[in-house]
A = this chain, B = another copy of it.
Amino acid sequence: MTDFAQTKALFDLPEGVIYLDGNSLGPLPSAAPAAMQKVMHDEWGKMLITGWNKAGWMAQPARVGDRIARLIGAEPGHVVMGDTLSIKLYQALASALEMRPDRRVVLSDSGNFPSDLYMAQGLLKSLGRDYELRVVPPEDVAAHITDEIAVLMLTEVDYRTGRLHDMRALTEAAHAAGALTVWDLAHTAGATEVQLAENKADFAVGCTYKYLNGGPGAPAFIYVAPRHADTARPALSGWLGHEAPFAFDLDYRPGAGIERMRVGTPPVLALAALETSLDIWDLTTMSEIRAASQSLTALFIEEVENRCPDLALATPRDPAQRGSQVSFRFENGYAAMQALIARGVIGDFRAPDIMRFGVTPLYIDAADVRAAAETLEDVMKNRLWDDPAYQTRAAVT
């Protein structure tokens, strides 16, 4: 059994703050700064170029990928780190599309994170040849899986509402129609008990700065199912995905398996910070996290609904259908969220009217959830959003 009081103590959480935004940027693991010092002084500083061998930097993307594989139900040796989520999404989609050369439609939904849609638009425009990105409402996805579809590209958990897609059913339907799947796990990894291998996902990508607490701009990951790993062509064919990077051949030959999805030089410092967070993840299992998360999100919904009648729940009430966040709609949501943040409860806002709260059992407990609901009640009952100071939009909302 995970001792969540123990894991909470391993984060550096500011005094007096309840942090319900770990679905956007996870907090600092207390061990991360010292670990980073060590990497900077003892590896970069002392080993210099020899760190690629001596400190294992070259193997770091696969080593870290394996630690993430456990959290997303992937086969060991089939996840590798690097780049950003947008880049990894592009890479996965480009590979998947080539595996269905006779089809031209990418199916996605309007609950997908916009960057995924943008990257797909950019790729399809480059490909030309009548490619189409078909975007339907999340609830209509299943009905649109036809034999026209080359790739079903979805984010499993809706970044605004927290609605969780049924990965197993949709993947099955896609396969039955002859399509491949690209799953974005941005709000899944570290949040729900996803089973990539069991659900027969084809490609998956995700980021590590949200629930996985890797730090601002931490690297992304990509998963390719073993049955595709040695045949998928990486459109982003960089030297570190080459069969023999240090032969410096003029022609590209893809490396074995997931290694071919590497592109350029790995972000060693950022991966080092992420590794300290994965040490905390090693203390738990996703099934325990999922159970705790469902209980905490249910508690938060109950507390807020009892205290704040003006907020409309945007997240599915059925715990099996939501990720690890709770969202409420409120027309003055932006200002209300600023008022809440000023009182030490940090959530965030997503246009047009969503107040969003991430629930992260590693460092958020029932007492935090109750206290957050109380503070939110104070904001709502006293119409604190009326203060003009809370209405000026910041650059990043």
Is A119 part of the binding interface, using a Cβ–Cβ cutoff of 8 Å? yes
B12, B41, B218: the one within 8 Å of A33 (CB): B41
The answer to whether B33 touches A37, judged by C-beta atoms less than 8 angstroms apart, is yes
A13-29 contact mask (Cβ, 8 Å, vs B): 1 or 0? 01001010100110110
Interfacial chain B residues near A123, Cβ < 8 Å:
235
The answer for the CA separation of A43 and B33 in the assembled complex, in Å, is 12
The answer to whether A27 touches B14, judged by C-beta atoms less than 8 angstroms apart, is no
Is A1 part of the binding interface, using a Cβ–Cβ cutoff of 8 Å? no
Q: What size tier do the contact residues of chain A reach?
A: 35 or more
Is A48 part of the binding interface, using a Cβ–Cβ cutoff of 8 Å? yes
Q: A270-B269, A396-B246 are in contact. Are A346 and B48 (CB under 8 A)?
A: yes
- Determine how close the nearest CB of chain B comes to the CB of A55; give it in whole angstroms: 9
The answer for the CA separation of A250 and B28 in the assembled complex, in Å, is 32
The answer for the CA separation of A24 and B57 in the assembled complex, in Å, is 14
Is A217 part of the binding interface, using a Cβ–Cβ cutoff of 8 Å? yes
Stretch from A83-91, A164-172, A301-309, A311-319 that touches the partner: A83-91
B12, B122, B207, B237: the one within 8 Å of A237 (CB): B122
The answer for the CA separation of A59 and B394 in the assembled complex, in Å, is 13
Is A265 part of the binding interface, using a Cβ–Cβ cutoff of 8 Å? yes
Name the residue in A43, A350, A396 with the highest tally of chain B Cβ atoms < 10 Å from its Cβ.
Answer: A396
Is A68 part of the binding interface, using a Cβ–Cβ cutoff of 8 Å? no
The answer to whether B86 touches A236, judged by C-beta atoms less than 8 angstroms apart, is yes
- Determine how close the nearest CB of chain B comes to the CB of A350; give it in whole angstroms: 7
Question: Residue on B with the closest CB to A266?
Answer: B217
The answer for the CA separation of A271 and B249 in the assembled complex, in Å, is 31
Is A65 part of the binding interface, using a Cβ–Cβ cutoff of 8 Å? no
- Determine how close the nearest CB of chain B comes to the CB of A351; give it in whole angstroms: 6
Q: A33-B37, A250-B117 are in contact. Are A268 and B53 (CB under 8 A)?
A: no
Question: Residue on B with the closest CB to A108?
Answer: B250
Is A150 part of the binding interface, using a Cβ–Cβ cutoff of 8 Å? no
The answer to whether B41 touches A28, judged by C-beta atoms less than 8 angstroms apart, is yes
The answer to whether A58 touches B25, judged by C-beta atoms less than 8 angstroms apart, is no
The answer for the CA separation of A115 and B265 in the assembled complex, in Å, is 10
The answer to whether B252 touches A351, judged by C-beta atoms less than 8 angstroms apart, is no
Is A341 part of the binding interface, using a Cβ–Cβ cutoff of 8 Å? yes
Is A283 part of the binding interface, using a Cβ–Cβ cutoff of 8 Å? no
The answer for the CA separation of A51 and B25 in the assembled complex, in Å, is 10
